[in-house]
């Protein structure tokens, strides 16, 4: 959830992230996120895959918006400049 916060995820991103993740809106991680509650790290193991898919979708939405609005002219975020990193031939 920390990365989603750093990417400036918003509550209004939640419905799209649920749709993108492919999980049902009634699954526990989706309900938690709809209510903007953290604590997915305390979910049982069988919910972790759903949580991960949901948070990756949320991060993707927020990060795309951030790139478009704040990082269009270049930035220092390593995750936005992965193709500029020197590749180790080994």
User: What pLDDT digit, counting tens, does each position of 41-90 carry?
Assistant: 788 999 999 999 999 999 999 989 988 887 777 777 666 666 665 666 66
Q: Is the predicted pLDDT of residue 21 greater than 80, yes or no?
A: yes
Whole-prediction pTM:
0.78
pLDDT at 35: 87
pLDDT at 6: 76
Cβ-count burial 23-56 (b if 16+ within 10 Å, e if not): beeebebbebbeeeeeebeeeeeebeebbebbbe
């Amino acid at each position: 959830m920390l990365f989603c916060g750093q990417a400036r995820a918003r509550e209004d991103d939640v419905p799209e992230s649920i749709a993108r993740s492919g999980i049902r809106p009634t699954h526990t991680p989706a309900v938690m996120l709809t209510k903007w509650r953290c604590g997915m790290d305390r979910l049982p193991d069988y919910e972790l895959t759903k949580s991960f898919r949901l948070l990756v979708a949320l991060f993707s939405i927020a990060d795309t918006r951030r790139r478009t609005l704040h990082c269009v002219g270049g930035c220092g975020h390593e995750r936005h400049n992965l193709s500029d990193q020197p590749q180790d031939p080994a």
